[in-house]
Every structure is written in structure tokens, then in C-alpha cells.
Structure 1
Amino acid sequence: MSDGGNPSGLDQPEVSATQPKRIFLVVVDESEEMQHALRFACRRAKNTDGRVALLHVIEPSDFQHWMAVGDLMREEARTEAEQLLQKLAAGVHEMAGSMPVLYVREGDCRDELFKLLDEEPQVSILVLGAKTGSGGPGPLVVALTGKFLGKLRVPITLVPDNLDDETIDSIS
């Protein structure tokens, strides 16, 4: 039997002020298309009272012959990743109005992305930039929209690199 306020007869969860914000995860690299995805995620976060998270994955170096050299290369890559994220975080704060959540991982980008999504249930949307030129949309986009699509627990928003800032602002 339904109460008078809910014609479907189904219980609806109460929305509370303590409910977690929607988190828009952007996989960070130094590509132009990532900048488009980042702008879109920031605008959506600001307009929906959400938050942005940035993931940068350091690919393992192939230089394993001398452990000390490999360790030094790994440390340098981590420092560069942290500097990139800090630079981007300032821009996210300016565009979205809040500081992003920052993640640095080491390994295969696709594998680390899936691990992060498993570990962080509050991430609700994955935002990726996609190349529109002859080289294709990029290996991560191809993998996630192809055979790995079934492993995702969140929707993907693809932001083509041919959109200008005004267009991104108007649709986000």
C-alpha cells in the first residue's frame, strides 16, 4: 500500500546534506585533449556542486638493468607527476571552486584506473579527452569503449578535442 506522497509505492531515499558529492575523475597526461576533459569536468563539478579528482599514472620505466638508475628514474617521474598535478590543481580550484582529489599511481594506466575505481566508490563519472584526428581517440579511450567497457562501474564522458572553450562551457 502506498502512502499518498509517492504514487509508485516505492521507497525513495532521502537526499541529505551529508550525501557525498559527485566526483568527476580525469585521467591526467600532458595532451591537449586532456585539457578539454579537465575543463569539462571542472565546469560540471561547479555547476552540480561536485568535485574533480585527477589521476596521473606513471608508466614503469623499461630501464631495469641497474637498480639505482631505475630508482632514480622512478623518483624523477614521481616528482614530475606531482608537479604536474599541483599545477593542474591550481587551475581546477580556479575553475571549479574547490581543490581536486589527487592520485598518483605507478603501473599500466588502464589497470591502475580500474584499481582506483574499485578502491574509491565515491568516483561517479570518468571524464576523458578524445583525439578527433587520424590517430584515433587514444589508447585508453579505445580500450575503455571496447573490450573493457563491461569492467567499468561508472559512466564515461568523452570530450572531443575539437571543442573550443565556449562550446565546452555552454554544454557543461
Structure 2
Amino acid sequence: MEAHSEELGQGEMSPENLERANINPSTGLATDYLNHFNEVVMLLEMMPDLPDCAGDVLIWQPCDYIQHFEQSNFSEKRLAIKAFDCSPTDLRDALNQTVALIDAEVLSLQALIENAEALSPEILHEIQHRATTFIRPLITQASGIIHGHIPDDAEALEDATQADVDALFS
């Protein structure tokens, strides 16, 4: 049997099949991946009211797009992985860059939680603030990328993020 490579919009990856699977037909990317981040951000945002959820925050681990779908119950996970491999390189790169920023910020908040002698109200509100004002916008940016929009300010955002992470550990 001769192997052939499919492209977005053709064969199994027709727009109809991708739409039916909740995969953007023009980008080959699925917003289901963002659930991995939405869950931890929700926990981070709740920490001032529910500090006991710190344990759940600490067990969260970074997970790339392919790993997410390999481990998920997403009904069309095989198609999602295949479509990702066919998605435009600039979109994949932008998504991976944004995800790296999200991962770095969540990991820095995990370090803050682990290294705090006590989770004072000030620390809990700082965690909530960073989740709301930094991670949420990055998730929104990732969603935009999944829908085909590469942000103009991605490089500036990366520089700001690295400065924030550096400041945390200095």
C-alpha cells in the first residue's frame, strides 16, 4: 500500500471532518488543548478563597499539544494530532511559544507556593492576580492562534514574561 501525506482540507482532514471534530479547519488546531491550562488557572484564581486547592495546583505539569491529545478522552484525538502535524508552521511555533510562557508562569507560581513558609493573604492574592492578569491573557492569545491569528506583540510579550520570571527568582 502506497503511503501518501494528507493536507488540511483534503481527505480525512476535510473542513467538514475537522469542524465535526471541533478542530479549526483552516489551522488544524483544536481549542480542547486549552482545557489543560484553564483548569490550573481556575484553581490559581480560587486560591484566596480556597487555599486548600494549592495541592491540586502543585500536581499540574506542563503538557505539549501532542501529549495532551494522546492522554485525553477527546473523541477525535488521532485526527487532532494528525491535523496538528499538518498545521502551518508559523501557527504551531506561535502556539508553542505562547504555551512556553504559560508553562513558565504556572511553574513560577508553583515555586512560589512551594517555597512560601505560609500562604498569607498577600501571597494568595498575588497568585490570583498573576493568574488573572498574565496567564488568562496568554490563554486568550493561544486561542487566537488556534483560530489563525498570530499576535503582533508576541516577541514583546515574551520579553516581558521572561523579565517577570527572572524577577521572581532574583
TM-score range (shorter-chain normalised) is under 0.3
TM-score (norm. length: structure 1) = 0.25
Q: Which has the larger radius of gyration?
A: 1
TM-score (norm. length: structure 2) = 0.26
- Return the structure number with greater helix share: 2
